Amino acid sequence: MNAIKKAVKSAVGILFENILTTLPFFNDLKLVLMYHRIVDKLPTGLHDPALFITSETLEMHLREISRYFDIVPLEKIVEPAGEKKRLCSLTFDDGWHDNYEFAFTVLKKYHVPASIFIPVNMISSRATFWFQNLWDLAAEMDQNGKSAIFKQYFSEHVPAWRRPGMGIDQIYELTNELKKLPASTLDGIVLRAYEKLGVKLPSRRNIMNWDQIREMSQHGITFGSHGLHHNILTQLDSDAKYDEVVNSLHVMQNANVALTPFFSYPNGNWDDETVSLVKQAGYKGALTTELGYNVPLMDPYLLKRIAIHEDISRTSSLLWFRIYQAVIS
């Protein structure tokens, strides 16, 4: 069934690419692509496939997109409509170190702009994302045949999580249940799991440092705020929201980097208060994770994006199908 579905998607993708330049409706499409992690080889074992894409696939994307779209900075997406052009902006969320290690090389090769959104207080630190720690722990316990202990611990702390098995869908559901908890408790629950289950927390640098950011700033890459700590803003009180939105911008403004005047909502979550703070802080716009394209009269503080990862875009026809999904959404 999966093979049949992929064949159908590929066929639709090829058809969509063929009509892209023939229908007037498509002449002023404005797309924003959303990437996360760029790697040389995909990880093995239990991992979150929605985060990963290979540098080889990213390179193919740039070749394909540039055939029909001008790849432009984010500011161009929200400028008043003038001459009808198909525009596309590239964004990367979280500021993973592999964006510097692998994506940077590809972006320089094709001389295209991109914007990277980083939790500001995690720059140049060994701070880790709770969700990455969760996936790493799940992979370790699954590999060592200790998934039952993992499930027992998290079932006690997240009673709503009762799904059997230890696959990707089960960890996705656990992640979504954890996101409903106050931001202040998430790290603690996951870190205590390492201690309780007798697993050593991996020691590594996940996020780029300031020197790397400044180097990339010299090559058409701009940087924006993804909050201070990647906390889900709708789970915070007003003072904490202010810190995440406003104070993170102040840090970026004083950091001597190429700044993009946009904010990326962590996890894509926003509410009216958050949007109001983003406007008051002086951002020109903000990015959601809602699938879709952007039109001339769109709200610049609720820009839609197209999430991209390896499984759904490893071929050119699948990439065009993904863009087709966004256009009809």
| Within a domain: 216 | yes
Q: Which domain holds residue 41?
A: 2-126+208-328
C-alpha dihedral (173, 192, 247, 273), degrees to nearest 10: 40
Task: Detail the DSSP E strand segments found in 79-192.
Answer: 87-93, 114-118
Residues 121 and 135 in one domain: no
| Within a domain: 55 | yes
Query: What number of other Cβ atoms are within 10 A of residue 283's Cβ?
Result: 21
How far is 187 from 245, CA to CA, in rounded Å?
A: 20
**Using an 8 Å Cβ cutoff, are 301 and 275 in contact?**
yes
| Within a domain: 203 | no
Residues 187 and 242 in one domain: no
pLDDT at 119: 98
Amino acid at site 68: Y
| Within a domain: 241 | yes
Residues 138 and 171 in one domain: yes
Where is the domain boundary, 156, 173, 197?
Answer: 197
pLDDT at 202: 85
Where is the domain boundary, 197, 219, 243?
Answer: 197
Q: What is the CATH number of the domain that holds 311?
A: 3.20.20.370
Query: What number of other Cβ atoms are within 10 A of residue 76's Cβ?
Result: 15
DSSP H or E run through 75: helix 74-78
**Using an 8 Å Cβ cutoff, are 198 and 91 in contact?**
no
Number of domains in the chain: 2
Residues 85 and 224 in one domain: yes
pLDDT tens-digit readout, 272-284: 999 999 999 999 9
Residues 318 and 227 in one domain: yes
3-state DSSP call for residue 130?
helix
Residues 108 and 15 in one domain: yes
Where is the domain boundary, 197, 216, 233?
Answer: 197
Q: How is residue 59 annotated by DSSP?
A: H
pLDDT at 62: 98
Residues 216 and 311 in one domain: yes
Residues 105 and 221 in one domain: yes
pLDDT tens-digit readout, 153-175: 999 999 999 777 899 999 999 99
Residues 120 and 142 in one domain: no
| Within a domain: 77 | yes
pLDDT at 203: 82
Residues 178 and 66 in one domain: no
| Within a domain: 89 | yes
Amino acid at site 24: P
Q: What is the largest CA-CA distance in the chain?
A: 61
pLDDT at 84: 82
Residues 177 and 97 in one domain: no
Residues 232 and 112 in one domain: yes
| Within a domain: 160 | yes
| Within a domain: 178 | yes
pTM higher than the cut 0.75: yes
For residue 143, which phi and psi values (nearest 5 degrees)? -65, -35
Q: Which residues of the chain have pLDDT under 50?
A: none
